[in-house]
C-alpha cells in the first residue's frame, strides 16, 4: 500500500484519547522490519523535529532555542511510537492520555521556571 505521508501525517494535529492537544506532527521516523520493508516507527513533534525538518538558519535557530531549555542537551524531538496511534483522520488520534507521553524539554523548562510561579497554577492540568 502506498501512503502519501506528506499530506496524510505531516502538520496534522496530534490529540490524546481524551481529545487534548499534544502538538503537531513535525516529522516521521522510519524503521525497517527483518525483510527490509520500511514502516513508520514514530511520530516526531516539537521544536527540534520542526527545526531539523525546516533546515537552514531558521531550523538551526529552532533547535538552538530548544537545546537552550533542555536539562540535558542535546535535546531531541519528542517521539511518539506509532503503536500509540489509534487512527488518522482530520487529526492523529492517540490511544493513550496526555500524561502517559513525555514532555518536551521546552515545555518542562517553561512549566518549572515560569508556569509554576503563577498563583493558582498548581490546579491547572498538564
Of 70 and 23, more confident:
23
Domains of the chain: 5-123 (2.30.30.240)
pLDDT of 1 strictly over 50: no
Answering whether pTM is above 0.85, one says no
pLDDT, residue 64, reads 86
pLDDT at position 3? 56
Cβ burial, residue 70 (10 Å; 0-12/13-18/19+): middle
Please report the pLDDT score of residue 75 as a whole number. 67
Mean pLDDT of all residues in 76-102 = 91
Mean pLDDT for 6-30 is 89
Side-chain-side CA neighbours of residue 25 (13 Å)? 27
Mean pLDDT of all residues belonging to the chain:
83
What does the pLDDT look like over 24-46, one tens digit per residue?
A: 999 999 999 999 998 899 999 88
Exposed/middle/buried for 62, CB within 10 Å: 0-12, 13-18, 19+?
Answer: buried
Instruction: Name the residue with higher pLDDT: 122 or 56.
Output: 56
Give the per-residue pLDDT at 125.
Answer: 53
Q: What pLDDT shows up at residue 123?
A: 58
Amino acid at each position: 500500500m502506498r501512503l502519501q505521508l506528506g499530506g496524510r501525517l505531516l502538520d496534522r494535529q496530534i490529540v490524546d484519547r481524551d481529545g487534548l492537544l499534544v502538538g503537531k506532527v513535525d516529522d516521521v521516523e522510519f524503521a525497517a522490519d527483518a525483510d527490509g520493508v520500511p514502516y513508520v516507527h514514530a511520530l516526531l513533534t516539537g521544536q527540534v523535529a520542526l527545526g531539523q525538518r525546516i533546515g537552514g538558519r531558521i531550523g538551526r535557530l529552532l533547535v538552538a532555542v530548544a537545546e537552550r531549555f533542555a536539562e540535558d542537551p542535546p535535546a531531541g524531538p519528542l517521539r511518539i511510537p506509532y503503536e500509540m496511534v489509534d487512527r488518522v483522520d482530520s487529526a492523529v488520534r492517540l490511544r493513550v492520555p496526555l500524561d502517559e507521553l513525555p514532555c518536551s524539554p521546552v515545555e518542562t523548562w517553561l512549566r518549572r521556571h515560569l508556569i509554576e510561579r503563577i498563583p493558582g497554577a498548581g490546579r491547572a492540568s498538564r
